[in-house]
Amino acid sequence: MTLAPVAGTYPKARRIKFRFDQHDSNDKYFVDGDMVFSHFVAGLSGGFPPGEESFIRSVRRVADRITDPLLKKRIAGFVGQEATHGQEHRQLNRKLVEMGYPIEWIDTEQAHARMLAIEERFSALVHLAATAAAEHYTAVLAERVLSSDEIQSIPAEPEFWNLLNWHALEELEHKSVAFDAFRAAGGTEGVRIGVMAGLYAFTLPFTFGSLAYALVRDPVARRQPVRVAREAYDLFRGPIFRGLMVELAKYMRPGFHPDDIDTTALLKHWQTELFGDDGVLVDHLK
Ligand SMILES: [Fe+2]
Ligand SMILES: [Fe+2]
C-alpha cells in the first residue's frame, strides 16, 4: 500500500554543526578499532558530498515540470537536507583525509567535472531515476542503522555516531521525495526499474573495488592480510550487509513505492531522541 505524505508535512533542513576537532588522530580506526569497517565507513562518507550534489542537480533538472505545491515544498526540503549533509560530511572527510583515509580522489574538481559529463549524457528522467534508486539505498541503510541495536552498540567516536544518526534520520524523512518527483515529471516504471537494475549490478563490484583500493593504500592493512580477511568477512556477514541485497531488490518490484516500507514509528522515535526537548543533538543546532 502506498501511503501518501500527510498534507502539510514535508522534510525540513536543520541548521546544524558537528565538531570533529576533538578527535585523537592517533586512533585511526575509529569504528571499533576495526580497520576494514573504518575504511568502509570512510569511503561512504567520502562519496556523500559529490553524490548528494548530483541528487540535487537531478531534481533541479525537472523543477519546471513539478506543479504540485506540496511536492515543491518537499523538494525544497530534500535539497536543503542534502546540501547540509554534503557540508557536514565534507567537514568529517577533511578529518578523515588527515587521518590517512584515501578518499580525497572522490571529491576533486576533476571528479566533479567527470560526474557532470556523465550526467549530461543522460536525460533528466534517467538522472532522476538514478537519484531515486540511490535514495532507496540510503533509506535501507538508514533504517538498518537506526533500528539495529547491534549496529548502534558498535563503539565509535560519539560525534561520528551523532553525524550518522542525524543523516540517517533525514534520509528517512525525505526517502520518497526524489521518487515522487520522478513520477510527477513523467518517469515510467520501465525507466525506474531499468536504472535500478543497472545500479544494482554495480553495487557489490563497486563496494569491493573501492574498499580494496583503500586497503591496498593502507600500510597497516598491507602488513596484516589475515586481519584484513577476518575483518572483511565479519563486515560482509555483519548487520550492515546481512540480507542487504534482498532489501535493495524490493525496489525493482513493479508498483513499488518507498512508503510501502513503513518507517513512521522509527522516524518519530529518532526525531524525539535527537531533536526532542531533551534531544541529544539539540545543542548542535545553530
Ligand atoms: Fe543525504
Ligand atoms: Fe537522501
Per-residue pLDDT band for 20 (boundaries 50, 70, 90) equals confident
**What stretch of H or E contains 74?**
helix 69-98
Q: Please give the distance, rounded to the nearest whole angstrom, from the Cα atom of residue 76 to the centre of ligand 1.
A: 14
Pick the ligand that lies closest to the CA of residue 82: 1
Q: Is 213 inside a domain boundary?
A: yes
How much of the chain exceeds pLDDT 70, in percent?
Answer: 95
| Cell (9 digits) for 264 | 513512521
Place of cell 538514478: 130
Please, which residues bridge with residue 285 across strands?
Answer: 16
pLDDT at 9: 75
pLDDT at 139: 98
Residue 192 and residue 153: Cα distance in Å, rounded? 36
**Cβ contact 231:214 at 8 Å:** no
Could you report the per-residue pLDDT of 105-117, keeping only the tens digit for each?
999 999 999 999 9
Per-residue pLDDT band for 4 (boundaries 50, 70, 90) equals very low
Q: What is the dihedral of CA 153, 158, 162, 165, to 10 degrees?
A: -20
Average pLDDT over residues 137-166: 95
pLDDT at 156: 87
Average pLDDT over residues 41-54: 96
Per-residue pLDDT band for 120 (boundaries 50, 70, 90) equals very high
Containing structural domain, residue 45: 35-284
pLDDT at 26: 63
Q: What is the dihedral of CA 254, 257, 260, 265, to 10 degrees?
A: 160
> Does the pLDDT value for residue 103 go beyond 80?
yes
> Does the pLDDT value for residue 210 go beyond 50?
yes
How much of the chain exceeds pLDDT 90, in percent?
Answer: 91
Q: Please give the distance, rounded to the nearest whole angstrom, from the Cα atom of residue 49 to the centre of ligand 2.
A: 11
Q: Is 28 inside a domain boundary?
A: no
pLDDT at 1: 42
Residue 77 and residue 90: Cα distance in Å, rounded? 20
Q: Is 100 inside a domain boundary?
A: yes
**Cβ contact 31:41 at 8 Å:** yes
Q: Please give the distance, rounded to the nearest whole angstrom, from the Cα atom of residue 39 to the centre of ligand 2.
A: 22
Q: Is 40 inside a domain boundary?
A: yes
Long-range pairs, 275-279, Cβ under 8 A, ≥24: 275/14
Q: Is 270 inside a domain boundary?
A: yes
Q: Is 6 inside a domain boundary?
A: no
Q: What is the mean pLDDT of the chain?
A: 94
Could you report the per-residue pLDDT of 229-281, keeping only the tens digit for each?
999 999 999 999 999 999 999 999 999 999 999 999 999 999 999 999 999 99
> Does the pLDDT value for residue 2 go beyond 60?
no
Per-residue pLDDT band for 3 (boundaries 50, 70, 90) equals very low
Q: Please give the distance, rounded to the nearest whole angstrom, from the Cα atom of residue 145 to the centre of ligand 2.
A: 15
Q: Please give the distance, rounded to the nearest whole angstrom, from the Cα atom of residue 221 to the centre of ligand 2.
A: 32
Please, which residues bridge with residue 197 across strands?
Answer: none
Q: How far is CA 52 from the centre of its chain?
A: 8
Average pLDDT over residues 3-17: 74
Contacts of 41 (CB under 8 A, 6+ apart): 30, 31, 160
Average pLDDT over residues 196-211: 95
Q: Please give the distance, rounded to the nearest whole angstrom, from the Cα atom of residue 25 to the centre of ligand 1.
A: 26
List, in sequence order, every beta strand (DSSP E) within the chain.
none
**Cβ contact 179:257 at 8 Å:** yes
Q: Please give the distance, rounded to the nearest whole angstrom, from the Cα atom of residue 205 to the centre of ligand 2.
A: 22
Q: Please give the distance, rounded to the nearest whole angstrom, from the Cα atom of residue 225 to the centre of ligand 1.
A: 33
Structure-model confidence comparison of residues 253 and 4, the more confident one:
253
Domain count, the chain: 1
Q: Is 11 inside a domain boundary?
A: no
Q: Please give the distance, rounded to the nearest whole angstrom, from the Cα atom of residue 132 to the centre of ligand 2.
A: 9
Angular region, 140: left φ>0, alpha ψ -120 to 50, beta rest:
alpha
Q: What is the DSSP string of 117-156?
A: HHHHTS-HHHHHHHHHHHHHHHHHHHHHHHH-HHHHTS-B
Average pLDDT over residues 39-58: 97
